[in-house]
Amino acid sequence: MVFSWVTAAMCSVLDAAETFVAPPPSRNAEIDAHGVPVGAVISADHDAYGTDFQFKTVPVPARNDAATKAEFTLVDGQRDRNSGPLGVLHDGRIPTEEDQPSANFFFRAGTDGGRLRLDLGSVIAVKRVSTYSWHPNTRAPQVYRLYASDGAASGFNAAPGRGTDPVACGWKHVASVDTRSQEGDWGGQHGVTITDPIASVLGRFRYLLFDISRTQSRDAFGNTFFSEIDVVDAEGPEPVPATTGQGERIVKAFETECGRYRFTIDATAAPDLMGWANMELAPVV
């Protein structure tokens, strides 16, 4: 059971830095004949202190999205020996700690990322694509280009490695993502969601290709800890929130009568203690 508290004075500091939106919603788009932007809109949130991927503009990770049953394949690059398997990216479970290699996927140390392909099994109406990461340092931000295809184009290459332009072999460039802050700490939870609010869907696709770059090259540890990748089908079920590696989180927040202090009890690892903590611990704190 985890017990945490924060004073009102600290609250003002945390509230100011709690959620950093980087960048603000931006449009990877062209302008149509009427001067209206068309294309993908990127919303990115950064929560330096979060533990449950609750953001202001990015939905929480899901456990029943289209990526859950998709086939994930490394087209280029190597998995780090300490990384979790590709399955952790679409198992509907999120990490419980900020530095949990086995619950995240990341490329081999010292390399500049790689390319990851998702095969959704059939062409679907992709409503949004969301990516999530968590690390206390430089492996938290996300830097990647997203491409998509229905696989029907002439000369389509389903596995374009580095050095091959996906656009030249049947892929569409959807968005370019970079959540690195120009100021402040990079560590914490990062969430990105890519949508097209005007068209309602990003397009009808079967394949997604993530061309992922490292966040920095000053040392060997610049490859992002990716926690989850969601692909929501516009014609599919409503997303159901993901669970932690331990199952559903059991958390309750309290505030003292004077309002100067607030604290949180996390009994996920010991659910039987929540009743005791609620009845016995909270009143005396």
Lowest mean pLDDT among 33-42, 123-132, 187-196: 33-42
Share of the chain above pLDDT 90, in %: 71
Spatial distance between the Cα atoms of 49 and 18, rounded to a whole number of angstroms: 7
Give the number of other Cβ atoms within 10 Å of residue 13's Cβ. Answer: 11
Tokens of residue 282, six digits: 């909270």
Query: What is the SS3 assignment for the chain?
Result: CEEEEEEHHHHHHHHHHCCEECCCCEEEEEECCCCCEEEEEEEEEEECCCCCCCCCCCCCCECCCHHHHCEEEEEECCECCCCCCHHHHCCCEECCCCCCHHHCECECCCCCCEEEEEEEEEEEEEEEEEEEEEECCCCCCCEEEEEEECCCCCCCCCCCCCCCCHHHHCCEEEEEEECCCCCCCCCEEEEEEEECCCCCCCEEEEEEEEEECCCCCCCCCCCCCEEEEEEEECCCCCCCECEECCECCCEEEEECCCCCEEEEEECCCCHHHHHHHHHHHHHHC
219-235 residue pLDDT tens: 999 999 999 999 999 99
- Shortest CA distance to 105 belongs to which of 83, 130, 125? 83
What integer pLDDT is reported at residue 258 of this predicted model? 75
Per-residue pLDDT band for 11 (boundaries 50, 70, 90) equals: very low
Spatial distance between the Cα atoms of 61 and 93, rounded to a whole number of angstroms: 8
Spell 36-55 as b/e; 16+ CB within 10 A means b.
eeebbbbbbbbbbebbbbeb
Tokens of residue 229, six digits: 């990748």
Residue 86 reports pLDDT greater than 70: yes
* Section 34-53 average pLDDT: 83
Residue 271 reports pLDDT greater than 90: no
pTM: 0.77
Domains identified in the chain and CATH numbers: 18-244 (2.60.120.260), 251-284 (no CATH)
C-beta separation of 83 from 104 below 8 A: yes
For CA atoms 215, 220, 225, 229, give the dihedral sign.
Answer: positive
Spatial distance between the Cα atoms of 57 and 11, rounded to a whole number of angstroms: 21
* Section 115-130 average pLDDT: 99
For CA atoms 147, 153, 155, 158, give the dihedral sign.
Answer: positive
* Section 26-45 average pLDDT: 66
